[in-house]
Structure 1
Amino acid sequence: MKKIHIALFLTLFFTSCDKGFDEMNINPIALTSVDPAFQLNTAIVASAPGYGNLSYETTIVKQMITPFSGQGSAANFNQDNRTVSNGNWTTYYGNIIRELTDVIAQTKDNAARSNLYNMTRIWRAYAFMIVSDSYGDVPYTQAGKSYLEGIVKPVYDTQESIYTDILTELDAASAGLDAAKAKVASDVLYDGDVVKWKRLGYSILLRAAMRLSKVNPTKAAEYVAKAVAGGVMQSNADNAIIRHTASFTNPVGSQLNGGQSAFFYLDEEFVSFLQKNNDPRLTSIAVRYVGATSGAQQVESRANRTAAVQIGAPQGYDNTTISAAVTASKLASLWDYSQLDKTRMAALTAPSFLVTYAQTQLLLAEAVFRKWTTGNAATLYANGIKAHMQQLASYGSSTAVAESAITAYVDANPLAAGKELEQINTQYWVASFLVGPEAWANFRRSGFPVLKPNPYPGKDLKTEDFIRRLTYTDAELNVNKANVQQAISRQGANLLDTRIWWDKK
């Protein structure tokens, strides 16, 4: 009988204890859901060009260079280093596209959040342009759906089909934004300003359309017209900028102000172009630590920001062979070359520019020259130069270019007959400084500026003078091999030389 009473007691005790047990084990302050608007913000902030972009994109277009070898060997030696070149892949597929895909799934059928839905479609198109421009054929229709649909081995879509959908998406999403509907007040780019988002969407549409200038000029002209009709950026106030803070620092600045401060230098061709044309932007960009013989000597007391003393580092050398070039330039050491100023444009809280009015004006200038839209190409060209010079004030007063200097430069460098495409796209190269993926994409598309190939011996390039694409990651080749191989069979060998669809000779 005693055993029965004990058993009954224990049953009642544990039954009573179990009541509320689930509630007791729930963290009352843990997130159970996330506002999709914050997911969009996460994706946008993560889109800031990273330090890895210096190793490939910015080096390929000869704006910056590191002579140091080792784990960072990349475009400086025309080598296929997948621990570096996988940066765009892992950043976009591992974070950005996953977040954007989830936001679209949550908002697609919610009329009350239609503006958030369309903003996300615009940014998704922007994201996929960077990924596809980097690698060519990539996962698109099935991308980012591992959690939503269990797709862990997505198929690779052709770049042509990706761009066809990107153009459609940008046009529809931009048109679908409605100022009369709910504002996304937490938006990190424009505080939910629908007019600015529309201009951004149509400006990206213009950019995407111009990508097709060689491979499908008819479609390019069609979508340039749609972008212009929809309304592109009207001033620097429309620029898509990530404004970094002490909590969310500039990815390039955080590296150049840390352990990588002595590794990257401004490229000789970039510095020489700016000097030759008396370009006032060089004073905003560069610093030279005169006489430095080590990274430790790159201190403010040696800093000289005068344009005339800047000397860019040449490509074709590593840190063991560059001594002859150093001697020829009468420098104390390789640490004496000019650098991107880490206290200004590469500061920890320096803004990241993604899509700008300056770029948009220059693309319009080319579109007018090609007779794909109306306007005055010379005026648009001048506006693009002015806008970029004025844009530099966003980094702080010490980088601002005086209006008198802007006027003098524009007057001295008008658009010349017979040189329009070269001048427009060379200025686009300057206006896209520190936006490596875009500078590289437009260089491949337009063929300008005319640059000397990197002569470093032992390169991985087989047939091309410049890197045309980044190779697929080793992780994809291991995990998603069948789909990767199908893409390679369509596109061509998984090499740095292989041209992507729109990069037609």
Structure 2
Amino acid sequence: MKNTIIISSLVLLLVSCTSDDVNMDPHATYNTIPETLITYAEKELSDYMTTPNVNENNFRLTMQYWQETTYVNESNYNFTARNVSNNVWGDNYVNVLNNLNKAKELIEQYQPVPSELNTWPAKKRNQLAIIDMLSVYTFQTLADTFGDIPYSQALNNNQYPLPVYDNDTEIYESLINRLKVDINNLEEGQGTFGQGDILYGGDIGKWKRFGNSLLLKLGISISDVNPSLAQSTINKAISGGVMISESQSCIFRYLAESPNFSPIFENVLNNNRDDFFGGKPFVDFLNATSDARVSKYFQDVDGIYIGQVIGLPGEFSSFSAPGIFAYKQETPGNLLTYTEVSFYLAEAAARFGIGGNPEVLYKNAVQASFLEWGFTTQNALDYLTDNPYNAANWKKSIGEQAWVAMYNHPVVSWNFYRRLDYPALQAPPTAINNAGGKVPVRLQYPGLEATTNGTNYSKAAAAIGGDKLTTKVFWDRN
């Protein structure tokens, strides 16, 4: 695994400067401060979670929100032709985790001047906690995507140029423990990264909400495989204080100018290509449930909303293009939203009786989605009258509504789908043979890992049951 460090400087826009491989270049030096590394890492993390670029993030296609207009390889799950897994690996390990790790090293090496001696210890703890929470988020994303991954040896290229793959179950346990420590180390009023932190601007109160909400997410994820740890983690998160309003959502605010505009805008408009329109299963579901959000999610075709059959190309003008939000430079990137957290709370109540009445929390989650997209509470209540909570099949209720609500958060939507087995998506008959006639439940390891870290790759592939699109990650038991 190549552990290049990428750094950036912040003037008015984000500008990145890249060395070819600082781990191999003895002349490489760093002339930066932690704040610029944090800014860059946050942007790269948001870019990956947000982009619809078929070379990096195809989960809008996998979750059948969108369909490709002309080149339909990715809609049919052929991710290897574009080396998608290599790019996912690099986005997260190289652009995010290694920059966070370098920021951590700089903070640990910093010698405070006399005027900082009293304030530095608490500020240092805050900074290291934020870095680690972002690292936990990223490692969870990688484990959820691939299964076993390099973890304990992942960010020390000098000592471990060919890192082992850790067991994903053990990784999750470690992430939960790390996050608990991070949350406890946060102290309001003691300084952070200031405006270098694009996500929260150094607001420790919001970072605490983020940390507890991420802890909730980790606990929910393991509900089927370790209910005892899941419940204790969920209770810890809720008692610590999760997000309670949209204003606390963890989003990255893009700018109008290049290169800092939304990666959705970059891929649907700035490249002057009409590559995507609505997928038939999703558009049909919105139409069948009379969902007002369809008007935000898509553009109409002569007054109606039309999606194309998954796996097939089509004339762009014949089907519903992505909504206007996709054509705006400043549409933010979602990392962890209040809507997402609201669905976790509904699931915790339905599964374990934790946190309140599941029907009430289900309604709250749906309402949060409507408000997020600019609709009113009454719009949500009208919708809920026709689409009530079904206690006898709560997985269907929550799974389908999370599918709708996570429309612009497709990586997370994929997690809901795999955990709850709803919506009942079907692979297209045109899908590649490697998909086994199913919607993928993981990505295959990068081809680069198989060639450069072959021994550890082979061990990991054997340990998870085969490096396949159909191999389930440890928490996907249904």
TM-score bin (small chain): 0.7 to 0.9
Q: Alpha-carbon deviations, 1:115-147, whole Å to 9, x = none?
A: 11101111101111111111111111122222x
Query: Is contact 2:176–2:215 with CA below 8 Å preserved after alignment?
Result: yes
User: Kindly tell me: are residues 353 and 42 of structure 1, through their superposed partners in 2, closer, same or farther at Cα, counting changes over 3 Å?
Assistant: same
The alpha carbon displacement at 1:230 in A equals 0.9
**Aligned counterparts of 1:494 and 1:160: Cα–Cα separation in 2:** 17
Report the counterpart of residue 412 of structure 1 in structure 2.
386
SS of residue in 2 equivalent to 1:345: helix
Question: Which residue of 332, 340, 343 maps to 2:322?
Answer: 340
Q: Which 10-residue stretch deviates more, 55-64 or 185-194? A: 55-64
SS of residue in 1 equivalent to 2:83: helix
Report the counterpart of residue 482 of structure 1 in structure 2.
455
Query: Is contact 1:64–1:266 with CA below 8 Å preserved after alignment?
Result: yes
TM-score by length of 2: 0.85
User: Kindly tell me: are residues 131 and 82 of structure 1, through their superposed partners in 2, closer, same or farther at Cα, counting changes over 3 Å?
Assistant: farther
Report the counterpart of residue 224 of structure 1 in structure 2.
234
The alpha carbon displacement at 1:33 in A equals 3.2
Report the counterpart of residue 125 of structure 2 in structure 1.
114
| Unmatched tracts of structure 1, length 5 or more | 1-30, 291-303, 323-332, 393-399
Query: Is contact 2:251–2:333 with CA below 8 Å preserved after alignment?
Result: yes
Report the counterpart of residue 152 of structure 1 in structure 2.
161
Question: Which residue of 365, 387, 390 maps to 2:346?
Answer: 365
TM-score by length of 1: 0.81
User: Kindly tell me: are residues 189 and 213 of structure 1, through their superposed partners in 2, closer, same or farther at Cα, counting changes over 3 Å?
Assistant: same
Report the counterpart of residue 456 of structure 1 in structure 2.
430
Instruction: Give percent identity, aligned residues only.
Output: 26
Query: Is contact 1:74–1:81 with CA below 8 Å preserved after alignment?
Result: no
| In the alignment, structure 1 residue 135 sits paired with structure 2 residue 146 | yes
Report the counterpart of residue 68 of structure 1 in structure 2.
70
The alpha carbon displacement at 1:454 in A equals 2.1
| In the alignment, structure 1 residue 35 sits paired with structure 2 residue 13 | no
The alpha carbon displacement at 1:338 in A equals 0.8
Q: Alpha-carbon deviations, 1:340-387, whole Å to 9, x = none?
A: 12x423422211111111111111111011125131211211111111
The alpha carbon displacement at 1:416 in A equals 2.4
Report the counterpart of residue 299 of structure 2 in structure 1.
287
Query: Is contact 2:369–2:405 with CA below 8 Å preserved after alignment?
Result: yes
User: Kindly tell me: are residues 155 and 359 of structure 1, through their superposed partners in 2, closer, same or farther at Cα, counting changes over 3 Å?
Assistant: same
**Aligned positions, number:** 433
**Aligned counterparts of 1:32 and 1:421: Cα–Cα separation in 2:** 50
Question: Which residue of 425, 440, 445 maps to 2:414?
Answer: 440
| In the alignment, structure 1 residue 47 sits paired with structure 2 residue 28 | no
SS of residue in 2 equivalent to 1:424: helix
Report the counterpart of residue 306 of structure 2 in structure 1.
311
| In the alignment, structure 1 residue 202 sits paired with structure 2 residue 197 | no
Query: Is contact 1:266–1:338 with CA below 8 Å preserved after alignment?
Result: yes
Q: Alpha-carbon deviations, 1:205-243, whole Å to 9, x = none?
A: 111111112221221111111111111001000011111
Report the counterpart of residue 261 of structure 2 in structure 1.
249
Let me know the Cα RMSD of the aligned residues. Answer: 2.2
Which residue type is aligned with residue 91 of structure 1?
Answer: D
The alpha carbon displacement at 1:410 in A equals 2.8
Question: Which residue of 176, 180, 184 maps to 1:175?
Answer: 184
The alpha carbon displacement at 1:108 in A equals 5.1
User: Kindly tell me: are residues 284 and 32 of structure 1, through their superposed partners in 2, closer, same or farther at Cα, counting changes over 3 Å?
Assistant: same
User: Kindly tell me: are residues 277 and 115 of structure 1, through their superposed partners in 2, closer, same or farther at Cα, counting changes over 3 Å?
Assistant: same
| In the alignment, structure 1 residue 355 sits paired with structure 2 residue 336 | yes
User: Kindly tell me: are residues 244 and 373 of structure 1, through their superposed partners in 2, closer, same or farther at Cα, counting changes over 3 Å?
Assistant: same
Report the counterpart of residue 265 of structure 1 in structure 2.
277
Which residue type is aligned with residue 45 of structure 1?
Answer: K
Report the counterpart of residue 398 of structure 2 in structure 1.
424
Query: Is contact 2:465–2:471 with CA below 8 Å preserved after alignment?
Result: yes
SS of residue in 1 equivalent to 2:334: strand
**Aligned counterparts of 2:327 and 2:235: Cα–Cα separation in 1:** 37
SS of residue in 1 equivalent to 2:251: strand
User: Kindly tell me: are residues 60 and 89 of structure 1, through their superposed partners in 2, closer, same or farther at Cα, counting changes over 3 Å?
Assistant: same
| Unmatched tracts of structure 2, length 5 or more | 1-28, 110-119
SS of residue in 2 equivalent to 1:196: helix
The alpha carbon displacement at 1:80 in A equals 4.0
Query: Is contact 1:429–1:439 with CA below 8 Å preserved after alignment?
Result: yes
Which residue type is aligned with residue 427 of structure 1?
Answer: Q
Q: Which 10-residue stretch deviates more, 373-382 or 221-230? A: 373-382
Report the counterpart of residue 12 of structure 1 in structure 2.
none
Report the counterpart of residue 94 of structure 1 in structure 2.
94
**Aligned counterparts of 1:82 and 1:208: Cα–Cα separation in 2:** 31
The alpha carbon displacement at 1:335 in A equals 3.5
SS of residue in 2 equivalent to 1:65: strand
Which residue type is aligned with residue 438 of structure 1?
Answer: V
User: Kindly tell me: are residues 86 and 260 of structure 1, through their superposed partners in 2, closer, same or farther at Cα, counting changes over 3 Å?
Assistant: farther
**Aligned counterparts of 1:233 and 1:284: Cα–Cα separation in 2:** 24
**Aligned counterparts of 1:77 and 1:184: Cα–Cα separation in 2:** 40
Report the counterpart of residue 28 of structure 1 in structure 2.
none
**Aligned counterparts of 1:47 and 1:57: Cα–Cα separation in 2:** 15
Which residue type is aligned with residue 492 of structure 1?
Answer: G
Q: Alpha-carbon deviations, 1:147-206, whole Å to 9, x = none?
A: xx4432111111111111111111211121110422431221111111110011111111
Report the counterpart of residue 296 of structure 1 in structure 2.
none
| In the alignment, structure 1 residue 466 sits paired with structure 2 residue 427 | no
User: Kindly tell me: are residues 55 and 143 of structure 1, through their superposed partners in 2, closer, same or farther at Cα, counting changes over 3 Å?
Assistant: closer
Which residue type is aligned with residue 46 of structure 1?
Answer: E
Report the counterpart of residue 58 of structure 2 in structure 1.
56
